[in-house]
Amino acid sequence: MKKLSLLLALLIGASLHGVILVNSNITTSTTWGDDASEDVIILDGPIFVKGGATLTINPGVIVRGQPRRGVGSAVGTAPGSLIVTRDGRLVAEGTNATFVARAAGPIVFTSAVLNDGNGAPATSGAYYTGWTSGTTLSFLDDDPIDDPLPLLNARLVATDTEKPFSNTELDDGTSATAQAYKAQDHTEMWGGLIILGSAPTNRSLSVTTTTTDEDGTESSTTTNYLGVTNIEGLTASEDTRYGGTIVNDDSGSLKYVSVRHGGDQIGTGNEINGITLGGVGAGTEISYCEVYCSFDDGFEWFGGTVNGDHLMVTAVGDDSFDGDQGWSGSVQYAFTVQADRAVGITGGDEACEFDGDDASKSSVTVDGDTYPDASYQFANMTIIGPDSSSSTTAGGDYNGANGRITLRDGYAGALYNVYMQNGEYTSASDNGGSAFDIKSSAHGPITLDTVTMYGYSTTALSTTGSYTLTTANVASQASASSVQGLKGADINSENGVDPRPKTGTFSSQATGIASTVSLPASFADSKGDSPTYVGAFPTSASLTLWTTGWTALNASDILVD
């Protein structure tokens, strides 16, 4: 990191066990993790990277956001978050190698909530206690790289019964630990990672400026910013704007980055996601990134042209992957395991909620053209939906996850090599019986090529609407003897998830489902290869999964190596 003379306005505190408290915006290019005093970075409120600065985070660094210290948007201190503005860049490139601080390992974003000494969050009054200089308490998520905090539900109930706050103990509501968890709200854990760029969106922003002449006469000028708006979850300002006309805009790079236990609700429909990408351009690299146990969505794209590869989402409170506002990128290798019990804002929702329009078509024109329709695509995606047998807890929390892909509101794009597995639903009323929900509001054209659906009660594709739907090799395998689903999909047990589909009878060998899809040339901007298998992973059991060495599920020994 730069010497103190350059960062006096940015950093305070700095000393206990390698903790640096960041409480001011990053306006000068800065590196976190250069020496032993910078193992842990604490975000003390929303921190903006701006003014042409580049923030570099070295491998093995843990970035923690302070919890919200108040309720709602009008009370208390906003939670710690990292926001990269349109004139800032973030270079956060970890590794999947054995963890050695400042040399190797993933970059983990998590909460700065403290442990009360009994495995529960420390509290002060009605709120969580965050880090302060001189504290003798450890963090609740104290060792996120080697021993991650387990999956939590909306009341922050752990699902790992081997932990001090076991699910059985907490759900009966009798212990002090249970009461501490029930008194809190996941919205206060911390914020999230937000990257804002200047690539096209389908939004517009009108700003009126009032000036006063020398004689006291006031006049107003309204400026329309085409393709630009403010990101949700933050108080609107110039720093929260995103979008524009720069297709190849470069906001930096994320690689081997894991974002955990984040998300914050400012109001209904106004939340911070795990990783939010607003108007991010194709010059930005998003590769090997994970969102784990977020309050709202996992990844959400608000317009932009950015591509991505090797993205993983586990147990989030809303949608795993959510596209909006004319996004036109591509993602290859995507994997989600939805929650098997209530988490976050809704207990989980869609595996994929893919929208296109977020404004009327006549409202935005860029360079003489109507704002971009959505045109994004995913290839080699694996979805593990919830099991209906565990959709409620003993305390009555309902799991709203449904393992479904919804296409609506102007969506146009394509899905290739998708493997979807749900729990043992018996009817659509089980909240997840439908594999696809294609709304009449979808714009199209839509392409579904080589999609296998397993364990859904409803697999027929909607034919209503004016869109064009092209399908090839789309099949339900719920009862087919040739496909037996996944060998284990239990996120509550050791080695409980093997995401490689099996054919024939279960065995230790993952034979998988073959694919002959030739991916379009547009994927050359992401990975640019055409796998011969369905789903996110090569199917030979002898191959190491790309999730190994850096994800929370892998470090928890829930996901097979």
**Tens digits of residue pLDDT in 318-344:** 889 999 999 999 999 999 988 765 565
Kindly list the distances between the CA atom of residue 204 and the CA atoms of 201, 224, 409, in Å, as whole numbers in the listed order: 8, 7, 18
Interval 290-295 mean pLDDT: 90
Q: Average the pLDDT over each of 146-150, 242-246, 249-253 and give the range with the smallest value.
A: 146-150
Token pair listed for 156: 């922050």
- Contact between 112 and 80 under an 8 Å Cβ cutoff? The reply is yes
Interval 407-424 mean pLDDT: 87
- Contact between 515 and 475 under an 8 Å Cβ cutoff? The reply is no
Interval 48-57 mean pLDDT: 97
Interval 359-374 mean pLDDT: 55
Interval 297-317 mean pLDDT: 93
Interval 419-445 mean pLDDT: 72
- What is d(CA 477, CA 516) in angstroms, rounded to the nearest whole number? 18
Instruction: Judge whether residue 310 has pLDDT over 60.
Output: yes
Going by pLDDT thresholds of 50, 70 and 90, the confidence category of residue 38 is confident
Eight-class DSSP state of 434? B
Instruction: Judge whether residue 202 has pLDDT over 70.
Output: yes
Going by C-alpha positions, the residue among 103, 102, 88 that lies closest to residue 41 is 102
- E strands along 487-544, which residues? 501-503
Between residues 174 and 503, the one the model is more confident about: 503
Going by pLDDT thresholds of 50, 70 and 90, the confidence category of residue 441 is confident
Interval 192-212 mean pLDDT: 85
pLDDT at 311 (0 to 100): 97
Going by pLDDT thresholds of 50, 70 and 90, the confidence category of residue 460 is confident
Residue 456, SS3 per DSSP: coil
pLDDT at 197 (0 to 100): 98
pLDDT at 486 (0 to 100): 78
Q: If you average pLDDT over each of 77-91, 145-159, 386-400, 445-459, which comes out highest?
A: 77-91
Dihedral sign, Cα of residue 7, residue 11, residue 13, residue 19: negative
Going by C-alpha positions, the residue among 199, 184, 193, 202 that lies closest to residue 234 is 193
- What is d(CA 209, CA 164) in angstroms, rounded to the nearest whole number? 56
Q: Average the pLDDT over each of 173-187, 274-288, 299-313 and give the range with the smallest value.
A: 173-187
**16 backbone dihedrals φ, ψ, rounded to 5°:** -75, 115
- Contact between 108 and 144 under an 8 Å Cβ cutoff? The reply is yes
Share of the chain above pLDDT 70, in %: 72
pLDDT at 425 (0 to 100): 44
- E strands along 227-307, which residues? 229-230, 241-242, 252-260, 264-267, 270-272, 275-278, 285-292, 299-302
Eight-class DSSP state of 94? -
Going by pLDDT thresholds of 50, 70 and 90, the confidence category of residue 267 is very low
pLDDT at 55 (0 to 100): 98
| CA angle, residues 99, 100, 102, in degrees to nearest 5 | 120
pLDDT at 270 (0 to 100): 52
| pTM, rounded to two decimals | 0.86
Going by C-alpha positions, the residue among 21, 55, 23 that lies closest to residue 40 is 21
Region of 540 please: left (phi>0), alpha (psi -120 to 50) or beta: beta
Residues 6+ apart with CB under 8 A from 134: 16
* 133-181 tens-digit pLDDT: 888 899 999 999 889 988 754 334 333 333 222 333 333 333 444 333 3
- What is d(CA 405, CA 385) in angstroms, rounded to the nearest whole number? 11
Mapping DSSP onto H, E and C, the string for 361-391 reads CCCCEECCEECCCCCEEEEEEEEECCCHHHC
Between residues 201 and 428, the one the model is more confident about: 201
pLDDT at 371 (0 to 100): 56
pLDDT at 414 (0 to 100): 97
Q: Mean pLDDT for the chain?
A: 78
Token pair listed for 143: 């060792």
Token pair listed for 490: 């239990």
Q: What count of other Cβ atoms lies within 10 Å of the Cβ of residue 135?
A: 15
Q: Average the pLDDT over each of 77-86, 200-209, 461-470 and give the range with the smallest value.
A: 200-209
DSSP alpha helices (H): ranges in 97-255? 167-171, 176-182
Going by C-alpha positions, the residue among 53, 62, 520, 116 that lies closest to residue 260 is 62
Share of the chain above pLDDT 90, in %: 40
